[in-house]
C-alpha cells in the first residue's frame, strides 16, 4: 500500500497555504509533517482525510481496498476528540467502533491498552485533557483502519503516555499500517520527515 | 445497518441524559400551550376553535428549539469529521440523525398532546385527531428543519438563522396540519383530503431532506 501526493495545492479562505507539494509514504512507514505554525500541517492531514477540497494536484492510495475510498480507510485524530461528555467512556468508544465499521476489536481491551480501563464507566465530561487524548487513541485501536492521520498526537500526553503511544504506533506500522503525523515533538518511532512552509 | 442503529441509539441516549434536548422541547411545548388560555381568556368556545392551531404552533416552535443542535454539537466536538469519513453514505447518516431527533424530541410532543388538549377544552375525539395530524406532520418538520440545521452548522449562533430558514418551509405543513385537525373537529371538509396532503408533505421531506442536508454538510466542511 502506498500513499502518493502529487503537486498538492491547498487554498484556505482565498489564500494559498502551500502548493506543488509532493510526498510519498508506504506500508510500514511513518511520515512526520513539520513546519511553523500556520504552514498548513493540519490542512494537509484534512486534505488527505477528504475533509477539505484539494485545489490542485492529487492524493491517491495505491493498493488499498478497491471498493473503499481513501478517507474510508483512514483514521483522523484531530485537535477535537469527538467524544460526547454526556456518555460514558465505554459508550463513546463502543459507538465509534460500531459506527466506523471495518475490523472491530473489543472496546474494553482497547481501553486497557491505553490505560483507561479504570475510567470506563465515568462520563467523558470528567476526563482530563490527557485522558481524552488516550480515549481518542483507543478509538484508533478498536476499529482497525490501515491509515492513521494524526494531528499533534502526543500533545497533552504525559511521558508514560507518549512512550505507550510510540509502542502502539510501532505495532501499527509492523502490521503494515501507515502513519502521517503533523507534529512539533519527536514521534518516538522511526519516520521520514516532510517539511512544509518556511526555510529548512 | 449496525452503524446506523448505533448512531440512532447514541443520539437518543444523549438527548435523554442531563443537558439533552428531549425534555426541554416538551417543557417548552407545555409552557406555550398553558400560556394560551391565559392570553385568550376563559372563553371556552374560542379555545376549542383555536385549540388545534395552538397545539400545532406549539409543536412547531418546540421542534425548532432543539433542531439547531442536530449537527452543531457534532461539528463542535469533531464528531462530524469522523461521520463524514465513515463508510456509511452521508445521506443515510443524515436520515438516521433526523429519525433519532424525531424519536427523542418529536414523539414526546405527540404523547403530551392528549394532556394539553384538556387545557384547551378539546374533547377526546378532537385531541386524537390533532395527535394523529401531529404524528403525520412532525416528521416533515424535522426532515425539512434538518436542511436548515445543516446549512447553519458552521455558524455560531446559527439557531436564529435556522428559524428564519426553516419557518417558511414549514408553512405548508402548518396549513394542512391545522386544516386536517379542524376538518376532523368541525367539518365541513372531509378529514381525508388535507390529511393525505400532510402525509404527502412528510414523505416528500423524508426523501429530499437527507439529500439536501448531506449536500450542504459536504459543501460547508472547511
Q: Say how far apart CA A89 and CA A110 lie, in whole Å.
A: 11
Per the CB < 8 A criterion, the answer to whether A144 and A121 are in contact is no
pLDDT-derived band at B176 (thresholds 50, 70, 90) equals very high
Residues 6+ apart with CB under 8 A from B169: B144, B145, B147, B148
Distance of CA A23 to the CA centre of its chain: 17
Q: Say yes or no to pLDDT of B138 above 50.
A: yes
Is A22 part of a structural domain of the chain? no
Q: Give how many domains chain A has, as a whole number.
A: 1
Per the CB < 8 A criterion, the answer to whether A31 and A37 are in contact is no
pLDDT-derived band at B207 (thresholds 50, 70, 90) equals very high
Q: Say how far apart CA B128 and CA B110 lie, in whole Å.
A: 10
Is A19 part of a structural domain of the chain? no
Cβ contact (<8 Å) for A98 and B79?
A: no
How does pLDDT run across B78-105, given as a tens digit for each residue? 888 899 888 888 999 999 999 999 998 8
3-state SS assignment for residue A144? strand
Residues B132-155 have a mean pLDDT of: 90
Q: Reduce the secondary structure of A92-112 to three states and give it as a string.
A: HHHHHHHHHCCEECCHHHHHH
Cβ of residue A11 closer than 8 Å to a chain B Cβ: no
Cβ contact (<8 Å) for B19 and A86?
A: yes
Q: Give how many domains chain B has, as a whole number.
A: 1
Question: What average pLDDT is seen over chain B?
Answer: 87
Query: Closest residue of A to B218, CA-based?
Result: A51
Q: Say how far apart CA A139 and CA A111 lie, in whole Å.
A: 9
Cβ of residue B219 closer than 8 Å to a chain A Cβ: no
Report how far apart, in Å, the C-alpha atoms of A117 and of each of A83, A108, A110, A131, B77 are. 16, 7, 8, 11, 23
Cell of A47: 486534505
Which of A20, A27, A18 is closest to A6 using CA atoms?
A: A20
How does pLDDT run across B36-75, given as a tens digit for each residue? 888 888 888 888 888 888 899 999 988 888 888 888 888 8
**Nearest CA of chain A to the CA of B18: how many Å?**
7
Cell of A166: 510510540
Q: Say how far apart CA B155 and CA B71 lie, in whole Å.
A: 11
Handedness of CA A167, A172, A176, A178 (dihedral sign): negative
How does pLDDT run across B212-222, given as a tens digit for each residue? 999 998 887 76
Which of B221, B201, B176 is closest to B79 using CA atoms?
A: B221
Per the CB < 8 A criterion, the answer to whether A95 and A150 are in contact is no
CA end-to-end span of chain B, whole Å? 28
Q: Say yes or no to pLDDT of B112 above 60.
A: yes
Is A57 part of a structural domain of the chain? no
DSSP assignment of B91-120 equals HHHHHHHHHHHIIIIIHHHHHHHHHHHHHT
- CA angle at B103 for the pair B98 and B109, rounded to the nearest 5°: 115
For residue A154, the enclosing domain spans: 28-51+67-195
Q: Say how far apart CA B128 and CA B135 lie, in whole Å.
A: 10
Q: Say how far apart CA B21 and CA B15 lie, in whole Å.
A: 5
Residues B134-156 have a mean pLDDT of: 89
Query: Closest residue of A to B79, CA-based?
Result: A82
Query: Closest residue of A to B17, CA-based?
Result: A86
Q: Say yes or no to pLDDT of B163 above 60.
A: yes
pTM score:
0.89
CATH number of the domain bearing residue A160 = 3.40.50.300
Please give the pLDDT value at position B222. Answer: 65
Per the CB < 8 A criterion, the answer to whether B89 and B130 are in contact is no
For residue B200, the enclosing domain spans: 2-220
Mean pLDDT, 10 residues at a time, over chain A (200 residues)? 88 86 89 87 89 87 83 88 89 90 81 87 89 90 90 87 90 90 83 72
Please give the pLDDT value at position B140. Answer: 93
Please give the pLDDT value at position A200. Answer: 44
**Nearest CA of chain B to the CA of A160: how many Å?**
26
Q: Which H/E stretch holds residue A74? A: strand A74-77
Is A58 part of a structural domain of the chain? no
Per the CB < 8 A criterion, the answer to whether A177 and A33 are in contact is no
Is A5 part of a structural domain of the chain? no
Task: Tell me the chain A residues in contact with residue B100 when contact means C-beta distances shorter than 8 Å.
Answer: none
Crossing angle of the two packed helices B22-40 and B107-119, in degrees rounded to 10 = 20
Residues B112-124 have a mean pLDDT of: 85
Please give the pLDDT value at position B144. Answer: 92
Please give the pLDDT value at position B45. Answer: 84
Substitution target in A51, A99, A101, A129 with the highest count of B β-carbons within 10 Å is A99
Which of A19, A60, A57, A59 is closest to A39 using CA atoms?
A: A19
State the CB neighbour count (10 A cutoff) for residue B204: 14
Q: Say how far apart CA A27 and CA A180 lie, in whole Å.
A: 11
Query: Closest residue of B to A78, CA-based?
Result: B78
Q: Which residue has the cell 469519513?
A: B85
Cβ of residue B125 closer than 8 Å to a chain A Cβ: no
Amino acid at each position: 500500500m502506498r500513499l502518493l501526493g502529487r503537486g498538492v495545492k491547498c487554498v484556505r479562505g482565498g489564500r494559498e497555504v502551500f502548493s506543488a507539494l509532493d510526498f510519498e509514504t508506504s506500508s510500514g512507514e511513518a511520515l512526520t509533517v513539520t513546519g511553523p505554525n500556520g504552514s498548513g500541517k493540519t490542512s494537509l492531514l484534512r486534505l488527505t482525510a477528504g475533509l477539505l477540497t484539494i485545489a490542485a494536484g492529487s492524493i491517491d492510495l495505491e493498493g488499498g481496498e478497491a471498493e473503499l475510498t481513501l478517507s474510508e480507510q483512514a483514521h483522523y485524530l484531530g485537535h477535537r476528540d469527538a467524544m460526547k461528555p454526556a456518555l460514558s467512556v465505554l459508550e463513546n468508544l463502543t459507538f465509534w467502533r460500531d459506527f466506523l465499521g471495518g475490523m472491530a476489536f473489543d472496546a474494553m481491551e482497547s481501553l486497557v491498552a491505553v490505560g483507561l480501563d479504570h475510567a470506563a464507566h465515568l462520563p467523558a465530561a470528567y476526563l482530563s485533557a490527557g485522558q481524552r487524548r488516550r480515549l481518542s487513541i483507543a478509538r484508533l485501536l478498536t476499529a482497525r483502519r490501515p491509515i492513521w492521520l494524526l494531528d499533534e498526537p502526543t500533545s497533552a500526553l504525559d511521558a508514560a503516555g507518549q512512550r505507550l503511544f510510540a509502542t502502539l504506533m510501532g505495532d501499527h506500522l509492523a502490521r503494515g499500517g501507515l502513519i502521517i503525523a503533523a507534529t512539533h515533538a519527536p514521534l518516538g518511532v522511526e519516520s521520514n520527515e516532510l517539511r512544509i512552509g518556511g526555510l529548512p | 445497518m449496525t452503524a446506523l442503529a448505533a448512531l440512532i441509539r447514541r443520539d437518543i441516549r444523549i438527548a435523554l441524559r442531563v443537558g439533552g434536548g428531549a425534555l426541554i422541547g416538551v417543557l417548552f411545548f407545555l409552557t406555550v400551550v398553558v400560556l394560551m388560555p391565559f392570553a385568550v381568556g376563559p372563553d371556552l368556545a374560542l379555545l376549542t376553535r383555536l385549540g388545534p392551531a395552538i397545539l400545532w404552533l406549539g409543536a412547531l416552535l418546540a421542534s425548532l428549539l432543539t433542531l439547531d443542535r442536530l449537527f452543531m454539537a457534532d461539528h463542535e466536538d469533531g464528531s462530524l469529521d469522523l461521520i463524514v469519513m465513515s463508510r456509511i453514505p452521508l445521506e443515510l447518516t443524515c436520515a438516521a440523525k433526523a429519525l433519532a431527533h424525531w424519536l427523542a424530541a418529536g414523539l414526546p410532543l405527540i404523547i403530551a398532546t392528549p394532556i394539553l388538549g384538556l387545557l384547551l377544552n378539546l374533547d377526546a375525539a378532537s385531541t386524537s385527531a390533532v395527535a394523529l395530524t401531529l404524528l403525520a406532520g412532525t416528521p416533515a418538520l424535522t426532515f425539512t428543519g434538518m436542511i436548515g440545521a445543516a446549512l447553519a452548522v458552521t455558524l455560531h449562533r446559527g439557531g436564529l438563522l435556522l428559524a428564519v430558514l426553516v419557518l417558511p418551509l414549514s408553512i405548508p405543513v402548518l396549513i394542512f396540519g391545522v386544516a386536517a385537525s379542524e376538518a376532523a373537529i368541525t367539518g365541513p371538509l372531509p378529514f381525508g383530503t388535507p390529511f393525505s396532503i400532510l402525509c404527502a408533505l412528510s414523505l416528500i421531506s423524508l426523501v429530499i431532506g437527507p439529500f439536501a442536508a448531506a449536500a450542504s454538510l459536504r459543501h460547508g466542511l472547511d
